[in-house]
Structure 1
C-alpha cells in the first residue's frame, strides 16, 4: 500500500495541474492561494479564483489533516479509533454564464492510524466523485459528461460506472425539494482493497478521476462560453444556485465532516455560490426551458 504521504503529495500535484488549466481556460483571473494550518494537526492550500471571464467564483482546495476524531464523527463513521488522517482535493466552480454548468469534484483518502498494529485490519478507504449541475440541462452535454466518466471507470472496473452513478443519484438528491442537484455523475465512498483491486489500483482510479476533470470541464466551457444569454436566464441561474447552497448546507457529508472536525470555515464554505436567489413559490412558464430542466432533475436517467 502506498503511503499516506505519497497520496497527499500526488493530490497536491493534481491540485497544481487543475489550477493551471483553469486559469488558461478563463484567460483573465488567477488563483489566490492561502496556506493554512489546522489546530490539532495538518493543514492545506486553499485556492480561489474570482471575477474572471468565465468563473465568477471557484475553489480548488487541497488538505491533509490529522488529529483526534470527535465523538460525533466516531458515531457517524461507526469507528472506535481516536485518531484520523484525511487528505484530498475538493473543487467547486460557479461560472458567471448561465449556459455553462456548475461542477464539483472531490477525491479523498481517509485513514485511522490508531487502528494500525493492533492485530486487526487497518481502517482506511478512498472516496470521491464528480457531478454536474447545469442551470439548463443540455442532452448532448449530459451524454458527453456521463460517457466520459464511464470511460474512466471502465479502465479500472466494468461495474464502477453503474454502481457509482446510482450512488451519485441517491447522494446528490435534495429530499426536501424532491429533485436531484443536477444530472449527477459518479460518487463512491469507503472503497477498499479486494481480491480484484489492490490499494494501488484504487489510488490509480482516484488519480485518473481527478485528472479527468480538466478535459471534461474544458469541453463543456468551450461549448457554451460564447453563447449569448438574457437577463431572465441569469436570474434563473441564481435560482438554481440556491438549490446548490441548500444541498451543501443541509446534506453534504464533506461540509459536515469539516465543521465537526474543526476545519477551516472559509475553505469548507468555499462551495457556496457568490450570488443566489430564493423566490417565493417560483413556477416556471409552461413549455419553457426552465420547466424542462426541472422535469429532468430525477434519479435513474440513463444519460449514456
Structure 2
C-alpha cells in the first residue's frame, strides 16, 4: 500500500498544479481594470504527528475574488473523537488502531462577478491499518442560476461517472443532493454535482481511476462557465444576492462539512482548513 499511497498523493499534487495554472490563465483573460491575480503559495504543517501540504490562495483577481486550491499529505494518530466517528461509520480496525494517512486536493472558488458561479471540488484517499478508501466530488454554487450552466456542469460529471460505473452518476448525484443540504435553512447550498465517500470496491486501481476521472472532469465542467460569465454586467442587487448566498456557504462549511471537521480535529493548519470561507458574506 505504500506505493499506492505515493501514487495517489503525487497525482493529487499534479492536479493542484494544473488547476492553479489554468486559473491563472483565466485571470490573464479576465476583464480589464485590475492586474491579473496570482496564487500565494504557502507550505503548511500539522501541529502534531506528521505531514503537511501546500496552501494556494488567490485574492482580489480579475475573475476570482478568492480561490483556494490546497494539497495535503498527512499522517499520524486520530483524536479520540475522530476515531470514534470513523468506528461508528464502520471503518475496519478503527476500534483497535487509530493510525491514519490521508492525501487529497481541496478547492473552493468565490468569484468577482455575481453571474459566475462559486464552485467546490475535492478528491482524496484515506488509509488506516484496517482499510483504505477514496472520496470526493464537485458541486456548483451559483447565486444567480442559469439552467444551461447547471446542465453543462452535470453533463460533464455524468460522462466522467458513466465511464466507470453505470449507476455511479445517479448514486453520487443523489448523495451530493443529500450531503450539500443545509437542514436549518431547509435548502441546498447550490445546484449540486456529485459526492462520494468510503469508496472501496476491493479494486484499488479501479477506484483510483474513478477518483481521477472526477478530478479531471472539474476544469472542463467549470472553466467554460467562468469564462462565459466573468465579464457580464452586474449591479448592486446582483452583488447583494451573491453576498447573501455566500452566507449559506459559510454556514454549511462551518456546521456540517466533514472535511472542515476532520482538518480541525487532526491539527492541520487552520488557515488551510478554513480557506473555503468567502472573503465577504452577508446575513439578513
Query: What TM-score range do you get, normalising by the shorter chain?
Result: over 0.9
Is 1:163 the counterpart of 2:171? The answer is yes
Look up the match of 2:7.
Answer: 6
Query: With structure 2 as the length reference, what TM-score do the two structures score?
Result: 0.92
Report if aligned partners of 2:65, 2:111 keep a CA contact under 8 Å in 1.
yes
**Any residues of structure 2 matched to 1:138-287 within 5 Å, and which?**
138-194=146-202, 198-279=203-284
CA distance, structure 2, for counterparts of residue 146 and residue 233 of structure 1: 24
| Partner residue in 2 for 1:296 | none
Classify the secondary structure of the residue corresponding to 2:126: strand
SS of 1:4's partner is helix
For residues 47 and 26 of structure 1, the distance between their equivalents in structure 2, rounded to whole angstroms, comes to: 15
8 A Cα contact 2:12 2:71, kept in partner:
yes
Counterparts of 1:37 and 1:242 in 2: how far apart (Å)? 29
Shift of 1:213: 1.4
Question: How far apart are 1:193 and its partner, in Å?
Answer: 2.5
Are 1:64 and 2:73 an aligned pair?
Answer: yes
1:69-113 per-position Cα deviation (integer Å, ceiling 9, x unaligned): 11101111112222000100000000011000010001000001x
C-alpha separation between the residues in 2 aligned to 1:30 and 1:226? 19
The offset of 1:224, in angstroms, is: 1.0
> Which of the pair has more CA radius of gyration?
1
**1:258 Cα offset (Å):** 0.6
**In the aligned structure 2, how far is the partner of 1:240 from the partner of 1:70?**
33
Structure 1 gap segments, 5+ residues each: 116-121, 280-304
For residues 176 and 36 of structure 1, what CA distance do their matches in structure 2 show? 33
**1:45 partner SS:** strand
| Residue-pair matches, total | 268
- Where does structure 2 lack aligned partners over 5 or more consecutive residues? 29-35, 88-93
8 Å contact kept, 1:22–1:214? no
> Matches of 1:37 and 1:253 in 2, distance apart?
20
- Contact 2:113/2:231, CA 8 A, preserved across alignment: no
User: Residue 126 of structure 2: which of 82, 102, 110 is its match?
Assistant: 110
53-62 vs 208-217, which deviates more?
208-217
Runs of 4+ in structure 1 deviating by more than 3 angstroms, as ranges, are none
The residue that corresponds to 1:93 in the other structure is: 109
